[in-house]
Chain A
Amino acid sequence: MTLLRLANVEANYGAVRALRGISISVAEGAIVCLLGANGAGKSTTLKAISGVVRPSAGTIEFDGKLLNGMSPTHIVGLGVAQVPEGRKIFKDLTVIENLQMGAYVRKDARGIAADLDFVFHLFPRLKERTRQLGGTLSGGEQQMLAIGRGLMAKPRLLLLDEPSLGLAPILIADIFNALRQINKEHGTTLLIVEQNAHVALKNANFGYVLQVGQVAVEGSAEELRRRKEVVESYLGSSEQTPARAAS
């Protein structure tokens, strides 16, 4: 069953036409990755899904509901959470307060407590640091906290923007292990934006490669791993400098 479907979505990010008719679909329970060079429109796609960037054309449907024009609060409430690029931890809030803010839209105290337990089970290091300020955590811990905060919204679809960014390879492996565990144990569907195509395709079921705001290549992760050269030809090159600012 398709959980998320974008059809011909166009959007501007600042003065840049960042999305030029993107169409992707994400099946329930899948791990899907969005690849592409800087400025290909990956982050803007996630921002459009979360409702912080308004699409100028096309439709975004989640679980059969049209997300276009809905407030971010409403979209999180429907079960679409995001782990933003650069983690964006609330630095002056403690670990536990950051997690509470992830659950802002929820009112089910018991469910929130259960999800908190799951986050601590997933990332025991966060449990040791509940009273510590978010800004004092290491990069890896901040990424764990960012993912945990996203999970606290009890999402059916979790959007992750560059979860591997700036992390050591061993930490990247840890983070992706945790993501697979979330997918398996909670059935959470994942849509992951990555520059690290190798790691992303190793962990995903399906992938899209974006170029200048459009889908250039799509296929199962296995297929894309086989067509490595094709995929790589779209990555890394920064010829599309005009759209760079839109990443």
Chain B
Amino acid sequence: MHRKTKKVGTASPGRRVLLGQQIISGLASGSLYALTAVAVVVVFRNTRTINLAQGDFAMVGAFLAMVLIKDMHLNYYLALAAVVVACILLGILTERIVMRPIADSDWLTLFTATLGVYYILHGVAGWVWGRDTKAFPVTFDPTPINFAGTIVSQGHLINMGWAIAIGLVLYVFFKYTKQGIAMRAVTDDPDTAQLMGIPVRFIVLLTWGMAGFLAAFAGVLLSPIVYVSPEMMDQVLIKGYVAAVFGGLYSIQGAIIGALMIGVAENLAGGYLGAHYKTATAFAMIVLLLTFRPQGLFGIQKRREI
């Protein structure tokens, strides 16, 4: 699948590339990668494994949104709400059916199980909806908007707006709600959390539900850009994972910053070096980071505590 990721809106006339514009549209893609990166971190912190199926939760969400909007003529926002519910259920079912029975196994077993979910969802999506790439019924809005002196397409602004809103929801959840604080307590020390009466299994279930919640937005918001296919999230998952590693795998803020950096870096590489350098940039970044700072940009605190 060598579909070029279309960057509508930033394709300025001629070959002249405006730096500010490149950076802003990089931040826009980065903010969508952040949805996946944060989900990878949230699941890793409470299960000690990387969820390879994270991208596919989003992919299933994207197909569902397509069916709801195109075939059932549902309003975009209603469809989004339905997809959010469906993806949360998908996350919860993954935990209950696949992960919980093997919860006490080592991380490699868990990791392999998520790989299994990845292939199952790929297969099921291809079987139900077909393997070819489909256009999403809602298109990316390329209308140029003057944003702080640079021209940005409206679609990018909308995507960034969503990402910021979701970020705020997560911030409030983790900082001010009982279940959010309990989720952090389980990250910190699951045995003690259990001793305090915190139902750890239920908290882990919530964690997977949150992964589904984030996937719903990732799928629906990315669909107009990468189009819909069983493989649509593969590269995004890798970028999200790289961003999560960037942040040290425990830090949500770190994952967000990592995702934004990857978005900007690949966009600059795409603009100045050529489109085919985009994905390579993310990998070059992770190789450099792991060489010089293996604990991630924000991993030092975690190490000191252990």
Residues of A within 8 A of B (CB): 50, 52, 71-73, 75-77, 81-82, 84, 88, 90-93, 97, 100-102, 104-105, 135, 149, 153
- Other-chain contact of B192, A75, A88, A105, A135 (Cβ < 8 Å): A88
Sample of 5 further A-B pairs with CB below 8 A, known A90-B192, A97-B181, A101-B196: A50-B195, A73-B194, A90-B189, A100-B181, A153-B197
Instruction: Indicate if the CB atoms of A52 and B191 lie closer than 8 Å.
Output: yes
Look across to chain B and name the residue whose beta carbon is closest to the beta carbon of A134.
B188
Q: Complex formed: what's the CA distance from A135 to B181 in Å?
A: 16
Closest chain B CB from A44 CB (angstroms): 14
Look across to chain B and name the residue whose beta carbon is closest to the beta carbon of A90.
B188
Instruction: Indicate if the CB atoms of B305 and A101 lie closer than 8 Å.
Output: no
Instruction: Indicate if the CB atoms of A91 and B305 lie closer than 8 Å.
Output: yes
Instruction: Indicate if the CB atoms of B185 and A101 lie closer than 8 Å.
Output: yes
Contacts of A97 in B (CB 8 A): 181, 184-185
Residue B67 lies at the interface, judged by CB distance under 8 Å to chain A: no
* Max count, chain B CB within 10 A of own CB: residue among A76, A93, A100, A101: A101
Contacts of A82 in B (CB 8 A): 195
Q: Complex formed: what's the CA distance from A105 to B196 in Å?
A: 8
Residues of B within 8 A of A (CB): 178, 181-182, 184-185, 187-189, 191-199, 305
Look across to chain A and name the residue whose beta carbon is closest to the beta carbon of B304.
A135
- Other-chain contact of A104, B184, B187, B188, B196 (Cβ < 8 Å): B196
Instruction: Indicate if the CB atoms of B194 and A101 lie closer than 8 Å.
Output: no
Instruction: Indicate if the CB atoms of A93 and B184 lie closer than 8 Å.
Output: yes
* Max count, chain A CB within 10 A of own CB: residue among B185, B193, B195, B305: B195
Instruction: Indicate if the CB atoms of B195 and A101 lie closer than 8 Å.
Output: no
- Other-chain contact of A90, B184, B194, B197, B199 (Cβ < 8 Å): B184
Contacts of B196 in A (CB 8 A): 76, 81, 101-102, 104, 149, 153
Look across to chain A and name the residue whose beta carbon is closest to the beta carbon of B175.
A97
Contacts of B187 in A (CB 8 A): 92
Contacts of A84 in B (CB 8 A): 192, 195
Contacts of B305 in A (CB 8 A): 91-92, 135
Could you show 19 A-B contacts with beta carbons less than 8 Å apart? A50-B195, A52-B194, A72-B194, A72-B197, A73-B194, A81-B196, A90-B184, A90-B185, A90-B188, A92-B184, A93-B181, A93-B188, A97-B184, A100-B181, A101-B185, A101-B193, A104-B182, A105-B197, A149-B196
